[in-house]
Amino acid sequence: MGQVAVHASRPFAFAMAPVLLTQGARVRRRTPVLPEAGGERHGVEGAGRDEPLAVLVFGESTAAGVGVRTQTEGLASALAAGLVQRGGRSVAWRVVARTGTTARQALVDLVPQMRDASFDVIVVALGVNDVLRMRSGRAWQNDLTALIAALEHHLRPGGGIILAGVPDLTGFPSLPQPMRALLALHARHLDRRTARAASNTQSAVHVSSPRIESHGLFAEDGFHPGAEGYRLWADHLMDAVMSLTHGRG
């Protein structure tokens, strides 16, 4: 759809509210509620004499590893393992995340959990909850801009922030039509705003999320990635992380 249609996602949602409310209630009844991944929310991949590269994965349920059993199968661990394989340097990874978190809530509730910690790379995985709440593009971009400013205080010299793109909801099997099409439309709108927020600062880059359509890449809820989905996503982010960390250490 064109730019005008993308911007019309919220008016479409209001017009279709009765249908969407009915579908939403049905989805909630039928979709299993999966827990966040268990295990420690930090670890080290690889070995070496140099100080490990410090990587934080920050955000909502996907950052928290919903869809897999343990954090070792989640996005942070998969990203760290890939970085070790490609760069040879050990990686210390950490997760700061909570299911259901919006960008605004992340600023208020999650950033304080970081205390005085600092990182070479911060990967931000947010957006789905803002899509579900039909957050306006302007408000979403403002929230992201404030969040980036807060996260910058936790970057080591030369470090950077990766804004993982708002997931493309087109292929999510748990979402019925027309809900799926409408949410996917709004996700694309917010993702454009994500790219704009990144372009307005030197510390952040935007990386569009991969389109996951194969049912085998989803967890049993048909909404979150499974272990293979997280590995695919980590591989998709790898070039951006390597570019940010090139020459460090």
Q: What is the largest CA-CA distance in the chain?
A: 60
The pLDDT tens digits for 199-220 are 999 999 999 998 877 778 999 9
* Complete domains list, the chain, with CATH: 3-245 (3.40.50.1110)
1 pLDDT above the threshold of 50: no
Task: Provide DSSP, 28-71.
Answer: HHHS--PPPPBS-SEEEES--SSPPEEEEEEESTTTTTTTSSBG
The pLDDT tens digits for 149-203 are 999 999 999 999 999 999 988 888 888 888 888 888 899 999 999 999 999 999 9
Q: Name 95's bridge partners.
A: 57
> Tokens at residue 83, please?
């970085």
The pLDDT tens digits for 31-90 are 788 999 999 999 999 987 778 999 999 999 999 999 999 999 999 999 999 999 988 889
Relative to beta strand 42-45, strand 155-164 is: unpaired
